[in-house]
Amino acid sequence: MDLTPLLPTIRPRGRELPLEERDKAAEVIDQIDFDQDELESWEAQGVAVGAFRTRLGLLVGEKTFTHSREQLEEAERLRRRYKEDGIDLPSDVEKIVGVGKLATVARVYDGYADDEDAVQDACRALLYRVVEDRSFSRASGWRDDVVLLISSANYFLVCRTHTDGRIDIEPEEHVLDAYACYASELDELAQELTSIDRYEQDQPLPPGTDNLVSAWLRKEGADALLNQSRYNLTAAMRIFRLNESISTADLARSLHTDRGNLSKQLAKAATGKL
């Protein structure tokens, strides 16, 4: 999906510091008490962005991380090893060996009126890089109202843009929780787009598109959650078959489902055909 038309609205609004000022500001950020003066920070797809209180004022810093030769070799070694067992590891190196070890300060911004102003620009800085590189996992929305799902080495981020320029970022530790949050945000967006308040703000949908837009967004969220749930269910069933702590009959009764159907799905999961 091409979200580049969104870039002008999510471009950072602070002043990007020139090289000499940037390096000095980066040193100042490194010296802060992160427990007290780090307002927010996130990492995704080799980019880390944060908003900070410093002796130079409010700053937004952006670092990029690249993988060392040793990390790339380790990722390839693990791919070959798992391939022998019939398991294909993801192409994303970060998913295999974590964040790159080679860090570079890419940009630092200043000129913020308050903490919230800095945090919002940090949101923009992160989302701008992700959209520019097309490194998000899922995205759907209507014009400037977009929901994105972004994966990182340690967690997932669900991002929501708004027509007024605000950006919300919700971290989720577990993949299924992230997809559930993504679907929930799209459901909420669908409700907002068809609400009376939206019409009163002179931002109505084109005539006759209310039901189409609402259904489309909800379908996009439901499809994403369904596909991920199926993947997780297959893995969970394989693990269950290795150590059945409860009988299939009892499990079926507890799940309020048909025992025969559950047995078939467990058998298919064991062979990778679910």
Query: Which amino acid is it at 64?
Result: T
Alpha-carbon span 125 to 118, nearest angstrom: 10
User: What 8-state DSSP symbol labels residue 205?
Assistant: P
Query: Which amino acid is it at 211?
Result: N
* Sheet order of strands, 156-161 included: 138-142, 145-151, 156-161, 167-172
Give the pLDDT score at 15.
97
Alpha-carbon span 65 to 45, nearest angstrom: 9
Alpha-carbon span 10 to 245, nearest angstrom: 50
Closest C-alpha to 43, from 1, 90, 98:
98
Q: How many helices (H) and strands (E) does the chain have?
A: 11, 9
Query: Which amino acid is it at 10?
Result: I
Alpha-carbon span 47 to 35, nearest angstrom: 21
Closest C-alpha to 111, from 14, 226, 20, 18:
14
Q: For the segment 134-170, what is each residue's pLDDT rounded down to a tens digit?
A: 989 999 999 999 999 999 878 999 999 998 899 999 9
Closest C-alpha to 230, from 180, 274, 179:
274
Alpha-carbon span 21 to 162, nearest angstrom: 32
Give the pLDDT score at 242.
81
Q: How far is CA 240 from the centre of its chain?
A: 29
Q: For the segment 72-100, what is each residue's pLDDT rounded down to a tens digit?
A: 889 899 988 888 877 778 777 877 887 78
> What are the DSSP E strand ranges found in the chain?
15-16, 38-44, 47-54, 57-66, 102-110, 138-142, 145-151, 156-161, 167-172
| pLDDT less than 70: residues of the chain | 196, 198-202, 272-274
CB 148 within 8 A of CB 136: yes
Q: Where do we find the tokens 């000022």?
A: 21
Give the pLDDT score at 221.
98
User: What 8-state DSSP symbol labels residue 136?
Assistant: -
Alpha-carbon span 176 to 157, nearest angstrom: 12
